[in-house]
Amino acid sequence: MWPFSRKGASGFSSSSTAEQVTEGIDGTGLTAIVTGASSGIGTETTRVLSLRGVHVIMGVRNMLAAKDVKETLLKEIPSAKVDAMELDLSSLESVKKFASEFKSSGLPLNMLINNAGIMACPFKLSKDKIELQFATNHLGHFLLTNLLLDTMKKTSRETKKEGRIVNVSSEAHRFTYSEGIRFDKINDESSYSNWRAYGQSKLANILHANELTRRLKEDGVDISANSLHPGVIATNLSRHISPVNGLTKAIARLVLKNVQQGAATTCYVALHPQVKGTSGKYFSASNVAKTTSQGTDADLAKNLWDFSMDLTK
């Protein structure tokens, strides 16, 4: 048994799978949106929530890939309720269109899982002229959450069930720029670092959930907002490992998570009764974990909120 596979207070560990952490939980009657659901942990999150009876709306850029995911899911789980809607998180216009179409559907919304993301790409601006990782990983989800909040509040009031907002962050938040969020240099190509920009966007996911928690509590709304680290997933990393080095790959398979384990913390935070009433926390391996001091900086969180509001107006 690897030391990092020890069970935490929740009874789960980094080796627990999404099916294991949701075993025996009935999600019938609940509706969830999962962004980035057409691949990786987004697909597994969709599958396991569907398995537990949740109606899942996949927010995806690639509708063809989503169609394949849906067909595969229905073969395995004939009773699954899964739909797909087009969503490009790097485009504020696309986010607004998605939110408008979802609201028009009249569906309730119990869970919003902000999962989609891009990682460590070369410097590029989004359609809205914002650095692409910040735009996709944080800003698109920030706007989406704000636009769907009234629907979540209404659902929570009518069903008397806690709404849950889940931001998929990363331990990479520890490796952001020294100032945390570079408000005055968000689009500065000359000092851009692909990995630090990724860390910045993941720190933003944590701060967003924290400030959202503060505001929801102020409003007395029964909705929680938490962030999490899914783990380093073998499928994401193995692309960069030389096929010649079989030993490295074998070790990687032991140390890194598979997709079933990678989706576990998301499914745990979204669905498990243990998490009820918990908000503004950061989870890893299906247990509450610690962030950096920047990850709990209330002033930084508020400044990010104001900055994000200005960018999404």
Which residues are known to be catalytic? 192
Q: Are strands 282-284 and 287-289 parallel, antiparallel or unpaired?
A: antiparallel
Residue spans of beta strands (DSSP E) within the chain: 31-35, 55-60, 82-86, 111-114, 163-168, 223-229, 282-284, 287-289
Helix ranges, 7-91 (H): 18-21, 40-51, 63-76
Closest-CA residue to 29 (of 4, 5, 59, 53): 53
Cα–Cα distance measured from residue 19 to residue 154, given in angstroms and rounded to the nearest whole number: 29
* Gyration radius (Cα) of the chain, Å: 18
Phi/psi of residue 253, nearest 5 degrees? -65, -30
Calpha distance 12→21 (Å, rounded): 7
Exposed (0-12), middle (13-18) or buried (19+): which is 219, by Cβ within 10 Å? exposed
Q: Are 200 and 182 in contact (CB under 8 A)?
A: yes
Start-to-end CA span in the chain (Å)? 51
